[in-house]
C-alpha cells in the first residue's frame, strides 16, 4: 500500500478491498480502495455478466447501495488496520435519501464509490453519505446508517435469546 498523502487522504494504490472487508468471494463487490482517510474512502467496483447480482445481462442500480455499504465497511476495516485489528462484521441498518439516476449499473466499467463519515459514535453506530460515479457522472447517492459492534457474536447471541 502506497502512503502518499492527498488532501488528508492516503492514496492506497492497488489495495484490494477484500483485505479490509469480512465479505468473501462473490459477496465482496468492491475491487480496490483508491484512497482512505479519517473521514472518507474511495473504492472501485466493476460488474460483469458473471457478477452475483447480474440478471439477464443487467445489474440493478439498487446494488449501488450495497457497494456504498461495503465501502463504509472498507473504511472501518482501514481504520481497524491502522490499529492492528482484523476486519470485523458490520450491519447496514438503513438508508435514506437513496437516489438512482439510472435503472441499471453499467457492465465492464469501473465505478467509483465515495463514502464520507458524517457521524460516528463510540458504540459503533455511524452515518455516512455515499455516492456512486460512472466516468465522473453521479449515478446514485444515499445516507447510510451502519452498526459495527465491538462483539458481533454477543449481538447475534442476544438476538437468538429473545
Contact 90, 78 (CB under 8 A): no
- H helix or E strand, kind and range, residue 78: helix 63-82
- What per-residue confidence (pLDDT) applies to 2? 43
Greatest alpha-carbon pair distance for the chain in Å reads 48
* Positive or negative torsion for Cα 92, 94, 99, 104: positive
- H helix or E strand, kind and range, residue 40: strand 40-46
**pTM for this predicted structure:** 0.88
Cell numbers of 27, please?
Answer: 459477496
Number of neighbouring beta carbons within 10 Å of residue 77: 26
- What per-residue confidence (pLDDT) applies to 8? 63
Residue 71 and residue 25: Cα distance in Å, rounded? 16
| Domains of the chain, CATH where assigned | 4-161 (3.10.129.10)
- What per-residue confidence (pLDDT) applies to 154? 84
- H helix or E strand, kind and range, residue 162: none
Mean pLDDT by 10 residues, the chain (162 residues): 53 85 92 96 96 93 96 96 92 95 95 97 93 97 94 84 85
- What per-residue confidence (pLDDT) applies to 11? 75
Q: Which of 74, 141, 60 is nearest to 104 (CA)?
A: 60
Amino acid at each position: 500500500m502506497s502512503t502518499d498523502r492527498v488532501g488528508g487522504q492516503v492514496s492506497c494504490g492497488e489495495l484490494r478491498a477484500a483485505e479490509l472487508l469480512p465479505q468473501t468471494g462473490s459477496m465482496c463487490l468492491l475491487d480496490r480502495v483508491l484512497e482512505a482517510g479519517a473521514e472518507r474512502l474511495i473504492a472501485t467496483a466493476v460488474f460483469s455478466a458473471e457478477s452475483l447480482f447480474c440478471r439477464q445481462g443487467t445489474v440493478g442500480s439498487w446494488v449501488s447501495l450495497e457497494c456504498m455499504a461495503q465501502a463504509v465497511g472498507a473504511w472501518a476495516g482501514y481504520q481497524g488496520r491502522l490499529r492492528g485489528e482484523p476486519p470485523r462484521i458490520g450491519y447496514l441498518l438503513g438508508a435514506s435519501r437513496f437516489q438512482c439516476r439510472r435503472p441499471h449499473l453499467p457492465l465492464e466499467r469501473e465505478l467509483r464509490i465515495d463514502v464520507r463519515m458524517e457521524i460516528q459514535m463510540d458504540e459503533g453506530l455511524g452515518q455516512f453519505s455515499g455516492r456512486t460515479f460512472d466516468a465522473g457522472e453521479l449515478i446514485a447517492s444515499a445516507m447510510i446508517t451502519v452498526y459495527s459492534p465491538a462483539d458481533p457474536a454477543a449481538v447475534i447471541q442476544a438476538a437468538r435469546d429473545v
